[in-house]
């Protein structure tokens, strides 16, 4: 077993050789705001125990005990259920990294012992195949998710080792990785997973162990995709229709694509592979400019849980899986570190505050699998799913939010997200402690206090969000009128002293957003956005219905913060027009009824379906002609059967 470690924080020497930035780990960022801090607390106190309970209740954890021989019984659930346990363990490890808890640590250790007991002598580990069809291991890489489950094991193992220094789960992961490496490779068996995940996970395993074979195995799986050296290709559903370096358009299953391209971006950050870098640029352009919802969600189609054609972005039938939004953050974060370009951080912010955060309720115990942009009271959060990828993905993602706030190079500090927080950033010549004070995302004023360990010259690079048209900067109270903006960052280079203060003002007006003309679902419609937050109208705030509302261009919209509503949100107030049908009274024709004006309230999209059940809509028509008619009495005769 190749699992050579130099310490809990060890990383491979080649890591970051071509990548321009290094992310500041979430363990070095303390979030202290009113927006994210309550969610992180809820994740620790509610979401994690909730997920652990359901993994126990549904037999997911018991499957490992059965496979290890300490419990009798048959396999329970879906063949990829091992992955849910691994994801919850990863989330638990992240919680332990910042909030040590002996009870939780003991619970995690007990689950890890069950996992270790289920591992076969040759390193293989998959409870479905061990209990159901052991003779068919690796006979269906396309559909049965063996390598996908292995990838989530590797991620959990890395997280647990970094958090606790304990090696049991990491040893299990390395033994399994060695087993896989003994089978697949250039001079061994050809093959790729139908559901990507192992590629990015092997990069993480390489990062903590320094074992080059894991990096080479990740590269092998990536380079085999679309080649079919001695196998049948899986097609575009699995992004296996052509080699990655030749791909230009996003296609197939959205989550699989995001995991794949996160792995590609991770490898490119280490090797500098130009073919990968250029392919990522082409695919990113296709996703962001032709196939992404305004919420940062992706994948409009339920039939393939993924992509169709350019500009196909329906609202009511939008799939926009929560896991896909998480994948958008993972992918764009890696691209931001690779290029030091704020456009990728812009997408991280959009997906994070909208399409991703909508996937979990404010109480942390109910979830969306899909995230439509309109609902007729038929779509609601659930406490669990038979396919529980989204609840378990949320519990492993949310504790790491602090890791997306800051990044650095040898002599540059990058601020990617605006979150009230403290952080320590290691530069080449000094350690910089920073305190960020802001009410973002409700307010665009940001104050950053710089505390270098010693006076030092370095660049502070502050992201100017793509949505912001007017940004102002001050240093120690003095306005900066000629600051340089490079790749979306305001760059301030100077000698910094302890106590220096940067003040950034980001104008945050209410914006009416239009979709590209080719997005026919939104022809004649507008969405409301303020800062990074996309808004929606819910029936509970708007007289019980929203599909009859229209929002004219002349309507004045006002932002109002309501600290007691939905955990504290800024709402958008205004007036809307409702088209009234009146009564037909058995008439065939009659004059058009005068529309009436009503008050309307929009709330952040992420917060919908946390109160009374009801309708929801993001894109409102600009004219009553495109709205549905309120109180319509069509006079349609009923059949005798009715």
Strand order in the sheet with 500-506: 29-31, 421-426, 431-438, 445-452, 500-506, 471-475, 478-480
Provide the H-helix boundaries in 340-479. 342-350, 389-397
Give the separation between CA 30 and CA 483, rounded to whole angstroms: 29
Phi (first) and psi of residue 600, to 5 degrees = -135, 150
Give the separation between CA 154 and CA 169, rounded to whole angstroms: 9
List of residues 6+ apart from 402 with CB closer than 8 A: 26, 27, 28, 29, 30, 31, 419, 421, 423
Residue 188 vs residues 185, 201, 220, 229, 247: alpha-carbon distances, Å: 5, 21, 11, 11, 26
Phi (first) and psi of residue 181, to 5 degrees = -65, -30
DSSP code of residue 528: E
Catalytic residues: 305, 389
Both tokens of residue 593?
A: 């009824």
| Helix, strand, coil % in the chain, rounded to nearest 5 | 35, 20, 40
Cis peptide before 372 (omega within 30 of 0): no
**40-67 burial by CB neighbour count: b if 16+ within 10 A, else e?**
bebbbebbbbbbbebbeebbbbbbbbbb
Give the separation between CA 303 and CA 291, rounded to whole angstroms: 16
Give the separation between CA 195 and CA 369, rounded to whole angstroms: 18
Neighbours of 594 (CB within 10 A): 8
């Amino acid at each position: 077993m190749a699992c050579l470690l130099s310490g809990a924080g060890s990383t491979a020497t080649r890591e970051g050789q071509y990548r321009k930035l290094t992310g500041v780990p979430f363990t070095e960022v303390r979030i202290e705001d009113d927006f994210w801090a309550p969610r992180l607390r809820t994740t620790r106190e509610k979401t994690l125990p909730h997920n652990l309970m359901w993994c126990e209740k549904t037999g997911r954890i018991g499957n490992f005990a059965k496979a290890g021989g300490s419990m009798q019984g048959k396999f329970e659930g879906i063949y990829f259920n091992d992955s849910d346990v691994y994801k919850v363990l990863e989330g638990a490890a992240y919680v332990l990294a910042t909030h040590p808890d002996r009870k939780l640590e003991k619970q995690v250790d007990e689950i890890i012992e069950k996992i270790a007991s289920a591992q076969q002598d040759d390193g293989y580990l998959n409870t479905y195949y061990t209990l159901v069809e052991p003779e068919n291991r690796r006979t269906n890489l396309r559909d049965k998710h063996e390598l996908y489950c292995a990838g989530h094991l590797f991620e959990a193992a890395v997280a647990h080792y970094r958090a606790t220094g304990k090696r049991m789960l990491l040893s299990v992961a390395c033994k399994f990785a060695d087993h896989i490496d003994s089978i697949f490779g250039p001079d061994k068996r050809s093959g790729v997973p139908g559901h990507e995940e192992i590629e990015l996970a092997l990069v993480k395993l390489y990062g903590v162990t320094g074992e080059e074979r894991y990096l080479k195995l990740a590269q092998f799986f990536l380079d085999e995709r679309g080649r079919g050296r001695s196998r049948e290709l899986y097609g575009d559903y699995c992004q296996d229709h052509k080699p990655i370096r030749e791909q230009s358009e996003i296609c197939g299953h959205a989550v699989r694509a995001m995991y794949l391209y996160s792995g590609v971006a991770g490898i490119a950050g280490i090797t500098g592979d130009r073919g990968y870098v250029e392919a990522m640029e082409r695919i990113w352009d296709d996703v962001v400019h032709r196939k992404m919802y305004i919420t940062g969600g992706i994948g409009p189609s339920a039939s393939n849980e993924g992509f169709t054609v350019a500009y196909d972005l329906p609202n009511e039938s939008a799939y926009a899986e929560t896991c896909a939004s998480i994948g958008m953050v993972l992918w764009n974060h890696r691209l931001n570190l690779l290029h030091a370009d704020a456009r990728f951080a812009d997408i991280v912010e959009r997906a994070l505050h909208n399409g991703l955060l909508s996937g979990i309720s404010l109480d942390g115990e109910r979830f969306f699998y899909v995230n439509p942009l309109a609902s007729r009271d038929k779509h609601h959060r659930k406490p669990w799913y038979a396919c529980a990828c989204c609840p378990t993905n949320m519990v492993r993602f949310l504790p790491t939010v602090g890791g997306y706030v800051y990044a650095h190079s040898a002599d540059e500090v990058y601020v990617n997200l605006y979150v009230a927080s403290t952080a320590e950033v290691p530069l080449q010549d000094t350690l910089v402690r920073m305190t960020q004070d802001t009410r973002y995302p409700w307010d665009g004023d940001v104050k950053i206090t710089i505390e270098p360990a010693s006076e030092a010259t370095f660049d502070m690079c502050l992201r100017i969000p793509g949505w912001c048209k007017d940004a102002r900067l001050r240093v120690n109270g003095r306005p900066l009128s000629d600051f340089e903006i490079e790749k979306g960052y305001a760059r301030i280079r100077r000698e910094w002293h302890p106590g220096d203060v940067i003040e950034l003002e980001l104008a945050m007006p209410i914006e009416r957003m239009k979709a590209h003309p080719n997005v026919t679902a939104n022809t004649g419609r507008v969405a409301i956005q303020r800062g990074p937050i996309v808004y929606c109208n819910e029936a509970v705030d708007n007289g019980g219905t929203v599909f009859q509302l229209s929002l004219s261009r002349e309507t004045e919209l006002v932002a109002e913060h309501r600290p007691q509503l939905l955990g504290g949100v800024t709402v958008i107030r205004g007036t809307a027009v409702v088209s009234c049908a009146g009564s037909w009274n058995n008439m065939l024709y009659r004059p058009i009824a005068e529309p009436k004006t009503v008050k309307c309230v929009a709330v952040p999209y992420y917060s919908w379906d946390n109160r009374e059940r009801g309708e929801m809509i993001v894109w409102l028509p600009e004219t009553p002609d495109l709205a549905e008619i309120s109180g319509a009495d069509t006079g349609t005769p009923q059949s005798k059967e009715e």
